[in-house]
Structure 1
Amino acid sequence: MTDTGGPAERELGQDRPTLAPTGAQVRRWRRYLADERAEGAVYRDLASRRSGEEREILLALAEAERRHEDHWRELLGDHVGRPLRGAWRTRILGWLARRFGSVFVLALAQRAEARSSYGTDDDATSAMAADERIHGEVVRSLATRGRNRVSGMFRAAVFGANDGLVSNLALVLGIGATGVAPQTVLFTGVAGLLAGALSMAAGEYVSVRSQRELLEASMPDPEAEQAIPHLDVDANELALVYRARGMGAAEAAEHAAEVLRDQDTPRRTTPVAQDYEAIGSPWHAALSSFAFFGSGALLPVLPYMFGLSGVAAVVVATAVVGLALLATGATVGILSGAAPLRPALRQLAIGYGAAGVTYVLGLAFGTTVT
């Protein structure tokens, strides 16, 4: 690789090789160019499904990727050749962005920015390496907005599906291991599905509703702020309000004096939309929990519904639930911006562990699987 100088020289634009590029350099630069094109296309596709500030931010990111394209195109010169396809991860991102434009795409884009190798490549400028790091933070912030919008429903969906999978698999395996008739296992599984789904829905509704009421109770009373213009400037308790909210005595007194000097300054008196977005709607949470718990709880019952029994039903139910647990774990990992493999395996281990314990207890208290 051609020595192009240290970071200071690279920042000053003295990062062009003085010798003809090697074949390895040309191949690497062409790959970088293809990836930058693909990443810019992802941001433009996402921007086409957004409006306002988010659209402007995504288009600005696409423009930054275009600047990086120009860098590699200039280095390549006559070696630029026919356009290559971007990395398969980036192509998948583009496909998802064009069809869904969801928070999952932003979470995946966040990971893609974090994988940039510009920081260790002498042919990329220090500014480009810094750009990629900052792009990751921009995308992280955009993804956080999306996570806040879906967190209430998503939490209910993931918890509901996971609880349905694990609890009903454990129930079905535990009852089946006692040696009862397959029809009894089927009826037990259906009863567990209905009881669990209704219980989860009721619990989610109460939980989310209570959170929203607690938030409302914690917000300042707008009628109390209407009394501020009528306070005695020399003797009032406004500073006590700010001290009760956590300020020190001196800071509270200074803030109270500022408020009295500028009573026209707008102040937050009601919960902002983001507060409620992060909690979600109680009805949406309840319906999501019911639907996803029921969907998850249905899978362990399917083998018995199709006439399987004994070891065959146990194996099929365990395998199907295992795949579903891997999928829910991977989904959580993707949404959180982490690698999907570890949360998927963690979900699988927890689910199988709970079901395994119940199955062993069923064997201990029953007869045998027939």
Structure 2
Amino acid sequence: MHPHAKSSHPTPPAQEAASPEEPLASPAEEAPAPKTSPSSSDIKRWRQYLADERAEAAVYRQLAQRRDGEERQILLALADAEGRHEAHWIKLLGEHAGMPRVASTRSRMLGFLARNFGSVFVLALAQRAESRSPYAKDLAATRAMAADEQIHEEVVRALATRGRNRLSGTFRAAVFGANDGLVSNLSLVMGMAATGVPAAVVLFSGIAGLLAGALSMGAGEYVSVRSQLELLRATRPTQATLTAAPSLDLEHNELVLVYLARGMSHEAAEHRAAERMGIFSCDCDPSLSLQPEEEETVDEHEAIGSAWGAALSSFCFFASGAIVPILPFIFGMTGFAALAVAGTLVGIALLSTGAVVGLLSGTSPLTRGLRQLAIGLGAAAATYGLGLVFGAVIG
């Protein structure tokens, strides 16, 4: 109950002040009031919950400052919900609330990212944090609070999806290109070194692999984007209906077939064809009288620029990954030490890219990083083994 609220009937102490979650749950769903003083472990746990709720509410408010419109209102609503949870723990702790505890490392990291970046990475981390709420298993939390956290996860997931969709193309190209460069060139360097050739040969092989792979990626991306643009252009309707309609035979109106093929109903197609041929103009049914067709202009320079931009991006992403395995050889290292350093550098890079994928997908960064690492080093180890076999056969 709000401290300024008044009641005409005195309320017994045991029933005083409804829970902050009462509008969201029936009394049977509320956490039972403790019959005895809470234990020290309860107090410690509840105070941590309190600190984390405050930190999460602050994160949502900080994110809201960087948004506008509907997204801003959604984030502020989430912050208000965390405030209700905060009030629950304050009431439960009572005189034991004490000074605020330090929020968990996860919550503090979220706060730092929200203050300084406010990107989709923060929402992805917040989604994961909401999914790991302990309220479902803690009897001190209400059922409504546990349900809130489940809904919050879905809300944050939807907000994060908008950002993921905006960067999905660039992100895919960056991760795919960099990982391809890391794994393929490390495998090439490991395989060449295993045959026993001099370090200079390994270095030049790595440089050749970098250039060949980057050029291949760039060329492939250019062809892919140009082909997609040309395919879309080939499927775009032409404006033949504007120029040919006046000369069509009224008794054999093939213009109807055009609109039927474009997916219109037979009634709508006949109506549209009659309008195009100038037979009548009827606005009695707006769903049938469509907007006039207009000529569409395509900026060829923009289309070609997009393809060139994709090619250049793929070239750079691949090259940035492919240069890592040859760095030890560039700086004069040789033998097993150079391979060990190359493998370590590539392993760190694979863990990093895998962790980023995990963050953006709302899953465990460590799991995704280890998966990337296992795939990359596994391929390199297999190539190294084949190099040893080839070296033994040739030698």
Q: TM-score, length-normalised on structure 2? A: 0.75
CA separation of 1:9/1:49 partners in 2, compared to 1, >3 Å: closer, same or farther? closer
State the match for 2:198 in structure 1: 181
Give distance in 2, aligned partners of 1:121 and 1:224.
68
Say whether residues 1:32 and 2:57 are aligned partners. Answer: no
State the match for 2:92 in structure 1: 75
Count of residues in correspondence between the two structures = 344
CA separation of 1:133/1:185 partners in 2, compared to 1, >3 Å: closer, same or farther? same
Q: Deviations over 1:179-235 (max 9, x none)?
A: 22211211121121122112212222332444455456667779979x9xxxx9xx9
1:305 alignment partner AA:
I
CA deviation after TM superposition for structure 1 residue 242, in Å: 7.2
Give distance in 2, aligned partners of 1:28 and 1:224.
72
CA deviation after TM superposition for structure 1 residue 18, in Å: 5.0
What are the equivalent positions in structure 2 for 1:354-365 lying under 5 Å apart?
354-365=379-390
State the match for 1:41 in structure 2: 58
CA deviation after TM superposition for structure 1 residue 111, in Å: 0.7
Give distance in 2, aligned partners of 1:319 and 1:331.
18
State the match for 1:295 in structure 2: 320
Give distance in 2, aligned partners of 1:316 and 1:305.
12
What are the equivalent positions in structure 2 for 1:159-238 lying under 5 Å apart?
159-214=176-231
Q: Deviations over 1:130-151 (max 9, x none)?
A: 2111111111111111111111
Q: Which runs of 5+ in 2 are unaligned?
A: 1-20, 245-249, 273-282, 295-305
- Compare 140-149 and 15-24 and name the one that shifted more: 15-24
CA deviation after TM superposition for structure 1 residue 28, in Å: 2.1
CA deviation after TM superposition for structure 1 residue 125, in Å: 2.1
CA deviation after TM superposition for structure 1 residue 34, in Å: 0.8
Say whether residues 1:11 and 2:8 are aligned partners. Answer: no
What are the equivalent positions in structure 2 for 1:115-130 lying under 5 Å apart?
115-130=132-147
Give distance in 1, aligned partners of 2:380 and 2:321.
14
State the match for 2:378 in structure 1: 353
CA separation of 1:285/1:108 partners in 2, compared to 1, >3 Å: closer, same or farther? farther
State the match for 1:111 in structure 2: 128
Say whether residues 1:309 and 2:334 are aligned partners. Answer: yes
CA separation of 1:238/1:192 partners in 2, compared to 1, >3 Å: closer, same or farther? closer
DSSP 3-state at the match of 1:307: coil
Give distance in 1, aligned partners of 2:128 and 2:268.
42
Q: Max radius of gyration: which structure?
A: 2
1:339 alignment partner AA:
S
Give distance in 2, aligned partners of 1:290 and 1:115.
39
CA separation of 1:46/1:208 partners in 2, compared to 1, >3 Å: closer, same or farther? farther
CA deviation after TM superposition for structure 1 residue 9, in Å: 12
Q: What RMSD over aligned residues (CA atoms) do the two structures have, in Å?
A: 3.8
2:358 alignment partner AA:
G
Match of 2:351 among 320, 326, 329: 326
Give distance in 2, aligned partners of 1:335 and 1:17.
40
CA separation of 1:20/1:164 partners in 2, compared to 1, >3 Å: closer, same or farther? same
CA separation of 1:53/1:265 partners in 2, compared to 1, >3 Å: closer, same or farther? farther
Give distance in 2, aligned partners of 1:351 and 1:115.
30
Give distance in 1, aligned partners of 2:109 and 2:241.
53
CA separation of 1:344/1:77 partners in 2, compared to 1, >3 Å: closer, same or farther? same
CA separation of 1:254/1:324 partners in 2, compared to 1, >3 Å: closer, same or farther? farther
Say whether residues 1:22 and 2:47 are aligned partners. Answer: no
State the match for 2:279 in structure 1: none
1:294 alignment partner AA:
A
Equivalent pairs: percent with the same residue?
60
Say whether residues 1:153 and 2:170 are aligned partners. Answer: yes
Asked if structure 2 preserves the Cα contact closer than 8 Å seen for 1:178 and 1:367, the reply is: yes
CA separation of 1:358/1:284 partners in 2, compared to 1, >3 Å: closer, same or farther? same
Match of 2:286 among 262, 268, 281: 262
CA separation of 1:348/1:18 partners in 2, compared to 1, >3 Å: closer, same or farther? closer
Give distance in 2, aligned partners of 1:307 and 1:157.
29
Report 1 or 2 for greater relative contact order, CA contacts < 8 Å, sequence distance ≥ 6.
1
- Compare 200-209 and 39-48 and name the one that shifted more: 200-209
DSSP 3-state at the match of 1:50: coil
CA separation of 1:105/1:179 partners in 2, compared to 1, >3 Å: closer, same or farther? same
Give distance in 2, aligned partners of 1:45 and 1:258.
54
Q: TM-score, length-normalised on structure 1? A: 0.80
CA separation of 1:362/1:143 partners in 2, compared to 1, >3 Å: closer, same or farther? same
CA separation of 1:282/1:73 partners in 2, compared to 1, >3 Å: closer, same or farther? farther
State the match for 1:62 in structure 2: 79
Asked if structure 2 preserves the Cα contact closer than 8 Å seen for 1:329 and 1:343, the reply is: yes
State the match for 2:10 in structure 1: none
